[in-house]
Structure 1
Amino acid sequence: MRARSVIGALGLAPCLVVLACLAPVCALGAERSIGVVLLHGKLGATADDVEGLAAALTDAGLTVSTPDMAWSALRRFDVTIDLALDEIAREIAAMRTAGVSRVVLAGYSMGANIALAFAARRSGIDGLIVLGPGFMPERAGFRSGVAEAVAEARRNERAGQGRVIGRYLDYGYDGYTYPIDASAASYLSYYAPDGMAVMPANAALMRTALPVLWVVGERDVVAERDRSYAYDLLPPHPRSSFLIIDAGHLDTPRQAAPALIKWLREAP
């Protein structure tokens, strides 16, 4: 399945094309009134990360958007998180325009971080799904691995070079660092230990109680399985759930599909 953005389907006649692509809600039954904006992981793509989950949700009768985001392998952090949140907001608005009445934002791996950042800072979603969240720039190992790169990016930003592309470091899920080219401003928004990708800070920042499904694989060596890390900091909601499933990091989206479909149908 090719990554698909609702906005990408708009062309030159937004309302007509979106309605044609997503189909009238009434004609497809109640479940077509549920939409999911699904965000891929770090330096990944929909085809690699969430294609199986997107297909399962679509087969279940849900409307699904899988935009290519700033942290994909193709775009490589070409905009800051704040601008990425604007892109997500446009995806959500396009679903609303198409007649989708309930929109849930879901993210896998780094996509989960950004989905949570959106929920903490923006509005317009009816629920949040966090899948295999494993990007933790505030943790000691991560911080030490990219400390010099973060310091350099801060110096460049203070010198008025925030938009200039430089070579920094990515902290891989294997514990090694890898070179990555990005602007200082963009790099800091994702990789700084006090940046917008930090999950506990974003969870604590949320003021609106949303139904949240937080899913972690039992064999996931990347994601944090302790619910006190960030989940317990969220505003409580009767439909929120913390779920550990039989999965590793890479297969969490596919293995989580049945639980997601059930939760999406039941959540208000």
Structure 2
Amino acid sequence: MKRPGIVLAHGKWDKPPYAIGTLADALRAAGHPVLTPELPWSLARLYDASFHDALLILDAAAQALRRQGCDRVVLGGHSMGANAAIACARRHASADGLLVLGPGHFPDWLHQQGISTDSLARAAHAVASGEQERLTLTDVFQGRPRPVRIPPAHYLEYFAADGPAVMPDNCRHLESLPLLWAVGRADAHFDLGRGYAYALAPPHPASAYHELEADHIGTPQAATALVLAWLARTFPEPA
């Protein structure tokens, strides 16, 4: 297959067709095979599997595209899905490129702000005590806290300030690969800027950081033309 396959990961608490739906349709119309697996942070699942298990789902989707004949696969996502795409690329070497759209879920920031401190302590105590039942702990979407019932071991994976979902750490440990990073100016975390994580990734001549006129939810749709142009430029079809 000449055009790269795309794995797109949806955001936190999302449900089909997801905020990535319009972008996924446009990619398919342009000839890209696209997979949009449901992940453990969907509204229907609410963290019923660990973060590491989520990365295995993304890696399996990438490998499925390769079995279908895609010799190049781009991992991408929106919000928490963008976070997970970065983490998967770091740990599984699944990607020939990365699409990071309105990245979300900031365990380090939540800890620094004291938002997750109590929940992390409760989850750690539960795990140390051998408890596995879901607890009501604090999650956050676009700066707004929300209680969710989540297995304590899963909470530690998703929310620990030194855990596997910390984007700056994951960006530092990427291989050099093409990275398109787009964030809306009306995103609650827009002010983190390119220095928070994008600038920590190894440089690549095809990497680019873009600011869009969009809010968090609207970023994938607003980025559609940008993504299509970047893919065509970065992964030209062989002669």
1:217 alignment partner AA: G
Task: After TM superposition, list the pairs within 5 Å mapping 1:129-208 onto structure 2.
Answer: 129-139=99-109, 143-161=113-131, 163-173=132-142, 175-206=143-174, 208=175
In structure 2, what is the Cα distance between the partners aligned to 1:71 and 1:222? 19
Instruction: Indicate if the aligned counterparts of 2:178 and 2:207 stay in contact, CA closer than 8 A.
Output: yes
Output the CA distance in 2 between the equivalents of 1:153 and 1:221: 27
Instruction: State how far apart, in whole Å, the 2-side matches of 1:172 and 1:244 are.
Output: 20
Runs (5+) with no aligned partner, structure 2: none
The structure with the greater share of residues assigned to helix is: 1
TM-score by length of 2: 0.93
Alpha-carbon deviation of 1:99? 0.6
Cα distance between partner residues in 2 of 1:168 and 1:153: 8
Which protein has the larger Cα radius of gyration, Structure 1 or Structure 2?
A: 1
Helix, strand or coil: the match of 2:23?
A: helix
SS in 1 for 2:147: strand
Letter in 2 for 1:194: D
What's 2:222 paired with? 255
What's the offset of the Cα at 1:57? 0.8
The residue correspondences of 1:61-76 to structure 2 (distance < 5 A) are 61-76=31-46
Matching residue of 1:264: 231
Aligned to 1:216: 183
RMSD: 1.6
- For each residue in 1:73-105, what CA deviation from the matched residue of structure 2 results, as whole angstroms up to 9, or x when unmatched? 011111111111111111111111111111000
Name the TM-score, length of structure 1 as normaliser: 0.83
Contact 1:142 1:171 in 2 (8 A): no
Q: What is the CA–CA distance in structure 2 between the aligned matches of 1:83 and 1:92, rounded to whole Å?
A: 14
C-alpha distance in 2, partners of 1:230/1:43?
Answer: 23
Matched positions, count: 235
Identical-residue share of aligned pairs (%): 38
* In structure 1, distance between residues paired with 2:223 and 2:32: 15
Distance 1:38 1:176 in 2: 25
Shift of 1:223: 3.8
Q: Which structure's relative contact order is higher, taking Cα pairs within 8 Å and 6+ residues apart?
A: 2
> 1:203-248, CA deviations, whole angstroms, 9 ceiling, x for partnerless residues?
1122x11110001112222344511111111011111111112211
Misfit runs of 4+, over 6 Å: none
